[in-house]
Amino acid sequence: MAKRPKYPVFQNWLLNQMVEFELTPMSLALKLDLLDGVIEDWVAGREVPDPVQCAHLAELFEMPVQKVLQVAGW
């Protein structure tokens, strides 16, 4: 049986944003200057970004930082 994601709300939100902005995990990693493994953990729902990373995501996805922080559980 597959392991359930630890952070399904963030996982679903991120996947939707990536589709909307036509990003792959690798391209998102490059834009955020992160290792692709970090993005893969987010996409799999295993981890969420820290507040600084949330700010970078907010800028990239053109939305308020507070929205990204909320979705990430901060």
pLDDT in tens, 20-73: 999 999 999 999 999 999 999 999 999 999 999 999 999 999 999 999 999 999
What pLDDT score was predicted for residue 1? 58
User: How far, CA to CA in Å, does 46 sit from each of 24, 37, 55, 59, 65?
Assistant: 17, 11, 19, 23, 21
3-state secondary structure of 63: coil
What gap in Å lies between CA 19 and CA 5, rounded to an integer? 19
What pLDDT score was predicted for residue 2? 62
Query: Which amino acid is residue 15, in one-letter code?
Result: L
What pLDDT score was predicted for residue 5? 82
What pLDDT score was predicted for residue 72? 96
User: How far, CA to CA in Å, does 29 sit from each of 13, 52, 57?
Assistant: 17, 15, 11
For the chain, domains (ranges, CATH) are 8-71 (1.10.260.40)
